[in-house]
Amino acid sequence: MMAAAKDDGALITLLAQAGASPNTPDIYSWTPLMRAVYENNESAADALLAAPSIDLDLLNRNQQNALHLAVIGGHASMVEALLERGVEQTVDANAHSPQSIARELGREDLLQLLAETDSSEQTTSSENG
């Protein structure tokens, strides 16, 4: 968690190679990935996203995943990286989706990213259906 907060991607990679779990939450149920994307720590986020055992869809105590927190932080590059890796667009404990949060924040750029991924998933689902 400290390596994620300090944006130390090299240390995160070293810890992952030594067998440390990238998914261990803190007392608020935030994972290192949640902390890295919320704080826009690109080196840490890249290292965590490269970890083979990373779980993108873990939820904090507000039922938010890393995508919610990237949207709340307003970090388009983090939103894009998470979406590229297949993070789920879920609804949190207050019935907020990443799209509703982006809309509330007036972030058209994030809304577009979220909508593009949502549309491509629906197209893929209907093609496979």
pTM to 2 decimal places: 0.88
**Banded pLDDT at 122 (limits 50, 70, 90):** very low
91-104 per-position pLDDT tens digit: 999 999 999 999 99
Which residue type, as a one-letter code, is found at position 47?
A: A
Domain residue limits at 87: 2-128
CA distance 3 to 13: 10
Q: Is the pLDDT score of 123 beyond 80?
A: no
Q: What CA–CA distances, in Å, run from 33 to 48, 82, 118, 124?
A: 6, 10, 22, 27
78-89 per-position pLDDT tens digit: 999 999 999 999
CA distance 74 to 48: 19
8-33 per-position pLDDT tens digit: 999 999 999 999 999 999 999 999 99
What does pLDDT average to over the chain? 92
47-87 per-position pLDDT tens digit: 999 999 999 999 999 999 999 999 999 999 999 999 999 99
Torsion sign across C-alpha atoms 23, 32, 15, 54: positive
Give the pLDDT of residue 129.
52
Provide DSSP, 26-88: -TTS--HHHHHHHTT-HHHHHHHHH-TT--TT---TTS--HHHHHHHHT-HHHHHHHHHTT--
Give the pLDDT of residue 101.
98
Structurally, the chain folds into a number of domains equal to: 1
| Count of all residues that appear for the chain in the document | 129
Give the pLDDT of residue 68.
98
The CATH number of residue 88's host domain is: 1.25.40.20
